[in-house]
Amino acid sequence: MTLIKNIGEIAAIGTAFCWSFGSIFFTIAGRQIGANVVNRTRLVLALLLLMLVHLINFGSFLPIHASSSVWFWFGLSGIIGFTIGDTMLFNAFVYVGPRLSMLMMSLVPVFGTIIAWFLLNELLSLPKIIAIIITLAGISWVVFERRNVRLTDRNKAQLEAHYLKGILFGLGGAFCQALGLFFSKKGLANNFSPISGNLIRILIATATIWIIPSIQGKVIDSFKKLSNSKARLGVLGGAIFGPFLGVWLSLIAIQHAYIGIASTLMALPPIILLPLSYWIFKEEITPRAIFGTIIAIIGVALLFLI
């Protein structure tokens, strides 16, 4: 009985673990065959999985009866969130790894609050401004940590350039995710099904992200790269844990738990990735990184709960 009562909170924690493992899988794949190829191929796999789920739930592969406005808003959300945003995020995975990339993604609710302020004229209360400052302070504390790495000047400059690119890609990915969610919210008006909405997002994103490779004649080449066993495992694992299981559990979480609690629990990947990054990628996790990550998550929690 207690398990059923807390199903929303359990699903939210499950979402956080799914997104954590998904980011690890995508990082492994991206470092083998490139972030752009990973994003393109995993969207195809995610689309097939979601079409199957939609068929089971609604009796059709696609929400063909959805209005044109719904297709427009979710399509726009898919292009911004998946095509552009996830391409940036996957490049961040390659440059700085999943831990820092997902820490950047903690800024999604911050960007979302600012976007709502500009586009919806939602006033920012003093507690929310303080929560945003706490989140930014925690992330900045981690990002600007000086790493003691003994390298030549040339290699050190290259490493710093990669680090800066990774941070910028992470910030861009977080902003695009927030803007994509804003457009999804407009598509969800009149209680439209989140499952159908997510399917439209991924369908449009998949179609748009393959336009350039199609023009360049690189479609077959993209799939040939999946002959790399590590890349193939990474794409498959990431697609299952990310847009399939992760999104499904997040919908359950939001449906059965208070949005503030669910959102806070789903923001835990940076914490979960601290030990995982140490074990899998042999990253040096400093006390400063741990402290800054915890402060950032506290800021996110306050943003949702106050």
Mean pLDDT, the chain, integer: 86
The pTM of this model reads 0.86
Out of 151-155, 211-215, 294-298, pick the least confident.
Answer: 151-155
> Is pLDDT at 152 greater than 60 in this prediction?
no
Whether residue 259 is predicted with pLDDT greater than 70 in this model: the reply is no
Q: Quick one: average pLDDT of 291-301?
A: 91
Of the candidates 11, 3, 37, the residue with the CA atom closest to the CA atom of residue 266: 11
Q: Indicate whether 71 pLDDT > 80.
A: yes
Q: Give the pLDDT mean for 193-199.
A: 86
pLDDT over 70 percentage in the chain: 94
How far apart CA 290 and CA 270 sit, in angstroms, is 9
* Confidence check: pLDDT of 3 > 80: no
- pLDDT value at 129 more than 50: yes
Q: What is the mean pLDDT of residues 210-233?
A: 86
Q: Which residue has better confidence, 131 or 146? A: 131
Element (H, E) at 21: helix 7-33
Domain ranges (residues) in the chain: 2-305
Q: Helices 194-209 and 153-187 sit at what angle, rounded to 10 degrees?
A: 130
Percentage with pLDDT > 90 across the chain: 38
pLDDT at 4: 58
Across 50-54, 109-113, 257-261, least confident range: 257-261
Q: Compute the CA torsion angle 188, 193, 195, 200 (nearest 10 deg).
A: -60
Whether the pLDDT of residue 2 is over 70: the answer is no
CA dist 199 and 71 (Å) reads 10
